[in-house]
Amino acid sequence: MSFYMPAEFEKQQAAILIFPERPGSWGYGAEPAQKVFAQIINTIALHEDVYVIVNEKSRPAAEKLLNKTDRIKLLDIPTDDAWARDTTPTFVRDTDSGRPAGISWKFNAWGGEYDGLYAHWEQDDALAEKFCQKAGFDCISAGEFVLEGGSIHTDGEGTLLTTESCLLSPGRNPAMSKQQIEDTLCGYLGCKKVIWLPRGIYNDETNEHVDNVCAFIRPAEVVLAWTDNKNDPQYELSAACLETLENMTDAKGRRITVHKLPIPDIPVRVTEHDLAGYEFEEGEDTREVGERLAASYVNFFFANDIVLLPQFGGENTLSDKRALDIMRKLLPEREIIPIDAIEIIKGGGNIHCITQQIPAWEARV
């Protein structure tokens, strides 16, 4: 039996989200974030099923804010936070039957004892297997191999994107060489070639996940987070990624077309009001006023026929429109839906980080 990871732009049967409630990630009782999560869930549910993971504390808010439809399915599973991309299963397809199965990676809160973002992550580590059990999917255990779903991106045709800054960080799999990590990825995900981008988005606390800096929009074609401002710390990071992509071919030997998707012109930062709303527990990474958040338009989510695109508002209204225009030109066959994502970025990630796709049951052609 062999498996491969489909591209995110392929047909999906469902999406997964976790309703937010962690006080150290989502300020003011998580109410502002819950409204945005609900908007995203209700929008996706117009196009495919959505599994929403809740617990005793978050279920009442979910029941209140979510539309009453058979497409939205609440699952009671305890979690530590709401980053579904990193803690729910990474789905692959059986090469012969086309049936999806979920991979359960080892999760250690983005760095474990070395530089993890919270002290207790046992529930999040157990989530992928519990989700597969409750939702009725086969589960493939990756054992002690540490990985988050946001650290990988595929074209569905054998090419995988990741960043050296994340997968080679001391808090992930320090006993493994780069080649051993690459071989492990190819073994579980059925990929033939791994493209290692050197860096991600500046100040990304995940050690620079690839899903914030670069994403496939179709085979041999990516969007890359960009800035023309050479004084911005992001410039050197994005320029290094561009150089790698321009000197690389994919698994099928094709040159990769790179479309620049500029980051917000004005950095998104933590305000005094934001900081007052958090409640951090012991051992949890904290925030400070003026801290630059890793805002990027690349952190979008494909669902059937649509793309949910982050928007940051305020001083970045023109930046938002520019990103919207670029994505509409690049993906004319899809509806690009702008989502006010400021309450999500305050948690540390964005729309792609809080979503996970389940591919349709479809034999490979």
Q: Where are the beta strands (DSSP E) in the chain?
A: 3-4, 12-18, 49-54, 72-76, 90-94, 100-106, 138-146, 153-154, 159-163, 193-197, 214-218, 221-226, 257-262, 301-303, 306-311, 335-340, 356-359
Is 159 in contact with 5 (CB distance < 8 Å)? no
Sign of CA dihedral 5, 237, 307, 221: negative
What is the distance, to the nearest Å, from the Cα of residue 303 to the centroid of all Cα atoms in its chain?
A: 13
What is the distance, to the nearest Å, from the Cα of residue 110 to the centroid of all Cα atoms in its chain?
A: 13
Amino acid residing at 104: S
Q: How far apart are CA 67 and CA 49, in angstroms?
A: 12
Local structure of 138: helix, strand or coil: strand
The torsion region of residue 37 among left (phi > 0), alpha (psi -120 to 50) and beta comes to: alpha
Strands 306-311 and 301-303: antiparallel
Residues contacting 40, CB < 8 A, separation 6+: 17, 301, 308, 339, 351, 354, 355
Q: How far apart are CA 296 and CA 303, in angstroms?
A: 19
Classify residue 166 by burial, with Cβ atoms within 10 Å: 0-12, 13-18, 19+: buried
Local structure of 202: helix, strand or coil: coil
> Is 241 labeled as catalytic in the residue annotation?
no
Is 326 in contact with 259 (CB distance < 8 Å)? yes
Identified catalytic residue from 132, 166, 191, 353: 353
Q: Which two tokens stand for residue 64?
A: 């209140």
Which of the residues are catalytic? 353
